[in-house]
């Protein structure tokens, strides 16, 4: 399974999904849409490095989608 947080753009034409969402909790849902975890950022907010350091596969080994606020930022289905 290829799991990925995609908040950081890979080129200049893609938006940075983290901008404006740095202080929202990260919500991890299973593929049926059930919330499995809400992880609050520390006082400095999320960074791309902090998001990529999370082991979301251990929270949702059957598959997941991740959101910062209402912004989708990654999935195991990528």
pLDDT tens digits, one per residue of 35-57: 999 999 999 999 999 998 899 99
How many domains, in total, are found in the chain? 1
Based on the number of CB atoms within 10 Å of its own CB, is 12 exposed (0-12), middle (13-18) or buried (19 or more)? exposed
Q: Which domain holds residue 34?
A: 4-75
**Band of pLDDT at residue 3, cut at 50, 70 and 90:** low
pLDDT of residue 56: 92
Beta bridge partners of 64: none
pLDDT surpassing 50 at residue 1: no
SS3 content of the chain, % helix, strand, coil (to 5): 15, 25, 60
pLDDT of residue 40: 97
pLDDT surpassing 90 at residue 29: yes
- Whole-prediction pTM: 0.86
């Amino acid at each position: 399974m290829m799991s990925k947080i995609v908040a950081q753009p890979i080129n200049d034409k893609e938006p940075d999904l983290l901008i404006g969402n740095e202080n929202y909790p990260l919500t991890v849902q299973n593929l049926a849409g059930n919330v499995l975890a809400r992880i609050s950022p520390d006082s400095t907010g999320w960074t791309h490095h902090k998001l990529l350091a999370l082991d979301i596969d251990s929270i949702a080994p059957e598959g997941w989608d991740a959101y910062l606020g209402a912004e989708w930022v990654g999935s195991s289905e990528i």
